[in-house]
Amino acid sequence: MCFDEKESVIRQKLDVILKDDLEAIIEDLEKESLLETPYFEFVDYREYKEGIYSRMAVVDFYFFNSLNMKITRKYRYYKKLGLWDRYYNKYYITAPLAGEASEKIETTVPLTDETNRKIETSSD
């Protein structure tokens, strides 16, 4: 079975997941540490004519008010099942404010195996 859905339906499915992900990110954080309106923005969105996955989206989530941090997540659309799959999840310290030291922290947490974590920390 292969789903042949309209682009608007595919994007609606992704929007539901993105809103749920944002809520899950902020639900256990202190309200005082959050932006007034946490948000996400698309970094990339692509359509593929061949292969198992027909769409790919890269989305950055911003939520802290005093920490320059974001989460980047990648999603792919499995056309045979008509479902989005999140397959990438990294935390980043973003560009520092003027006068602050620049530091990059990269964290990868596999979504399917919680025991297999990789954490890399490097200073620029």
pTM: 0.74
pLDDT means per 10 residues, the chain with 124 residues, are 79 98 96 96 96 97 93 96 96 70 46 34 35
Helix runs in 1-124, H state only: 7-26
What pLDDT does 97 receive? 52
Task: Please tell me the distance from the alpha carbon of residue 24 to that of residue 41, in angstroms, as a whole number.
Answer: 16
Can you tell me the distance from the alpha carbon of 86 to that of 59, in angstroms, rounded to the nearest whole number? 11
Residue 2 confidence (pLDDT): 59
Task: Go through the chain and tell me how many residues it has.
Answer: 124
d(CA 77, CA 84): 4
Residue spans per domain, the chain: 7-92
pLDDT at 63: 96
What confidence score (pLDDT) does residue 84 get? 97
Q: What is the pLDDT of residue 107?
A: 46
